[in-house]
Structure 1
C-alpha cells in the first residue's frame, strides 16, 4: 500500500495508542521499594517513618538516579530534603576515607543546614557515610579539623565554604553530587558570586541538583551556565493561586464571626457583586441563611443533604443573578462552576491548604479580578501559617508600626454595632436560638474530625503578633482618630503585665507569701533584667530585617525556560468535574476514520507571527555597537592607560573578589595564614602520615579511627579474638590432631568392611 501524503497509517496509530496505555498502566505503581534502592538506604527510609513518596520525591528520585541534572520547583514542606538525600546515599553507598568529600550541599541559612545534617543522620544511619557542617560564625579551626577527617558529605553555606577553600587551598576534584537547596533564597541573599566561584572549582563530571520555590531569571541563567542539559520539574503549577486574586485575612474572635460577616456584606462588599460564603457544616449554612434573611440580605444556600430539585433551583437563582449571596459547604461546592464570581468569604477557615486553593480558585477566573476574605479565629491561626508555607508566600501582619499587611482586624465599633443587632434578633426570634445551638453542637463534631495543623506551625504561631494586630488596611479609611486612640488603649491593656504577682499585690506586707516572693524576686533580679533585654533585642532585630531592602529578582519568562531546559516535567491537569463523576468509557472512533494532516503543516507553523524575531533575539551577539548611542556608551566605559598608552576597558570593581560573612569584599586569592598556624599547633600533617602507616599495616580495619568504647562491645571483641585460630600450634595440639585423624580412618575402614559383608549375604540368597 502506497503512503498517501498528508494521511497517517492507521496501524501505526493503533500501536502507539497501545504503547501509551502500557506506559500509563506501568506508571500507576509507586513506592520506595519500586525505585530499586540499596537495602541500607531503604532501611533508613523506613526507620524514618516514610511510607509513600511525595509527588516531588516520586518525580525527582528516578531522574536523579539516571544521572541527569535537575532543577525542581518545590515549596517548603513538600519533602524536597529527602528527594535529594536518597539519591545521594544511593550514589555514594559506602564510606571512602581516602577519596575525600564526594557530596556537597549548599543551604542559605544555618538553621536549614543543621536541619539537613539531622536528616542525613536519620535517613543515612545504616549507610555509614560521614558528614560535616561548615557554617559562618563557627570556629574555623574546628572546620579545618572536620575537613581533615575526610567527610563524605559537606553541608555548607557558600560564603564560609569559599573562605575555607581559599585558606586551605582545598581541591574539590572528587565531588560527584552537588545540591543547591532553596536556590532562589541563595541568590536573593546576594550569594551568586560565591556560588559561581565555587562552581569553577568543581569538576565538570559532577551531577547538579537545584531546588527552588520560584524561578527567577537569574536562576535560569545560572542553570544554563552551571548545569549540563538540565531537566526542569514544575510541580507547583496546580498549587499556585492566580495573580489577579487578592487574599485578605481578618483576625476575629469566634463569637464575633457572624458580626464580622455582616460588616463585610453590609459596609465593604458591593451588593451588586456575587459572593460565595463557605461554612463548616450544613447546620452553619441553615443558621447563616436564616440570619441573613432576617437582616434583609437576599441569599440562597446549598448543602449535600438538600433535595436535588431544590438544589437546582437555588443554584439557578444564584447563577442568573437573582440572588447575590450563596452559602455553601465544601461538599456542595464541588460541582458548582460560577465564571462571574467576584468574592469568596471563608466563614470557617479550611483545615487543609489544598481546600483553600479549591475554594478561592472559583474566583478570579479567565483573567477577571477577585477577592478572597477569610475570618480567622484563634484556634485557626496555625492553619493560616500552614497555608502560607504551602503557597510559599510571606505572611504580612498589619501592626501599629507597619499598617500595610494581609492580616488585620475589623474596627471594634463596626463589630459591636452588628453584634448588638444580632443579639436583638435572637431575643425576638426563638427559631434563631435553636438554629444557633444546633450549629454550635455541629461545630464541636466538626472540630473532632478536623485534621490537626503541623507541629511547627503551632510552635511558630506563638511568636507572631496576631493577637495584637492593627486595623486591616481595608477598613483604615473608616477608623478615625478616636478609633485609633481606642485601639491603642486596647493594645496597651492586652500587653500590660504587672510587675508583681498576686501574692505581692493582694497580700499583706508582713505575710509569709509576700516576704518569700520579695526574696525570690531579689534573688532572680539579674536574670529577669537580662530576659527583658533579650526580648527587646529580638524585637529590634525583627524591625531591622523588615526595614532592610530585600533584593527583588526579575522573573523568568517561557522563552528563558525553554532555552535553558531541554525537558520540562509538569503534573497532568485534572478536570475537577471528572474527579467526582463516574468514569465513562470513551467511545472508539469509527474504523473508517483516517486522520488527516496537510502536507504543508510544518511550513505553516514556521510562518507564525514573531517566530523569526524570537529566534533572532536568542541568537544575536553584540560585539561592537553600530549606532551613535552604543558607540558613545562604549567610549565612556574605557579609560586611558599611561603605561600601555591606549584606551582600555574598565573592569568591574568586584571582579576577582569574594564577599565574606561580614559583607566585606576581599580578593579571591586572599589568605590570612590561619590554616598554616593551625597545622603547626595541632601537628595535623604528622597525624595524617601516622594514620596512613597504620592503615597500611592493618588493612582489615574498617575505618581510620575505629575504637571500642562500650562494655558489651569490648566483651564481643574479646570473644572474637578467642574464636580466631592461631597459625602456630603447640605439641599437645599436634598430637591431639593426629589421634583424631587416626580414629576417623579406623571408622571409615569399619564402615567399608560392613558394606562388603552385606553385599556377600545378598548374593547367597
Structure 2
C-alpha cells in the first residue's frame, strides 16, 4: 500500500486524513492523485466505495493553495442532494487545516444560508445542477473563476437527465481549466461528454486483477419471494448473526414509507430517506443512520449515491432494480473501504425478465432465483439467522389499561367517578335503575330525584318534559306543537 505522503500530498492534508485514521491510498487514488496534482485532465473509473472522492478532492484542495483568494475557485457537480452532503463533508475535512472554505449548494434547503456562504467568499462549491444554475442565473454564484471543475458520478447525471444542465454549467466556467470526471460506469454519452469538455484526458480504471464485474468482497444472494412475505423475510434477515447497519432499497416512495412503518411496528430501529420527505427530514435520517442511532435505512434510489457509510453489512433489494447499473450502485453501499458485505435481492414473479437481464450483464450464473419463503431452511443457512427467529423483536409488554376510577379522574372511594353523572340528558339520562344508586351516592345538583324517571307519564320528577328539552337544543323543526310531549 502507498501512503498519501508518498503520493506528494501536502502535510496538512496528510494530517487531516490521519486524524480520521486514513493513512494508505486506495488503487484509484494511487493512480489519479499523482496526475491530478500537476493539472492533468482525468477520467477516473472505479467501483463505488473505492475512494473516488479523495481521488479528485485532494488535487483540488492542494492546487488551490493554503490561502486562496475569496470567491469560487473550484466547482464539484454531483447528481443528488445526499451525495452533495457527503462530498461536502469530505472536502470540509480535507480543508480543516487550511483557510479554504467549502459550501454545499443543493435544492430542498433555504437559499439564504447558501447565499451567505457564497458572499462570505467560499472557494469550493459542491452542488447539484439545478440549484447551481438557479443561483448563477440570479447572479449570486459566479463561476467565471472556477478553474477546477469536477463531475462526480457522471453516469448517474446521465440517468437523471442532467446532460443538458451539465452543458450549461460548462459554458459558465473558464475555457482553460483543470477538469476531472469520475464515475463507476462509463457509458457512451459520458465518453462523448468528456471528449467535448476535457483536454486530452487520461482514462484511469482501477480494478483488482481477480475482480469480476461485481466486487469480490460482496456476497450476492438472490431469492424469488412472494410480495406478501417480503416484510417477514426482511425482519428475519435483520436478526442474522453479525448483522450491522443495513440499507433496504425500494422502488417507490410509498413502499419505502410503508416498510419503515412496518419495521418500526415490529420493533426495529428504522429510518427512511425518500422523495416525499423534506430535505431536513432526509438529512436527519441519514445523520441518525451514520451515527448508529438507527441501524436500518429504507431508501429509494434517489439516495443511493449519498450513502457513504463504511460499516454497512447488508444491502437488501426489496424490489429488483431496473438494470445492472442500478444494481451495482445499490449493492455498492456495502463492502466499502475493503470490508465484506452481503447483498440480498428479492425477485417477484413478474420481474423474472429483469433479473434475467441483470444476471446476464453481471455474469452471476443464477438464471433461476431460488423460491424462498420466511420459513425456508436455506434462508436461515445462507444468512446465519438463528433457528426459531420470528419477524418481530418487540419484547416489552403492551401498555396495560389502568383502573376506571384512575383513568376517569375519580378516586372518591369505590364509587363510580363523577363523570358518569354528567351523561347526556333525555332518554339517556334515565337509562333505568342501574344508574340510580350511583347518582344517589353523588351529591345531586338540585332538589330531589333530579335526573330520575318514574317510568310513567311524559315528565321527569322535576316537572320538565324531556322531549321538549331535547328539541330546544336541536332547534325547532316546525310548528308541530302537539309532538312536543311524545317520548
With the length of structure 1 as denominator, give the TM-score of the two structures.
0.33
Structure (1/2) with the larger strand percentage: 2
With the length of structure 2 as denominator, give the TM-score of the two structures.
0.50
Larger Cα-atom Rg: 1
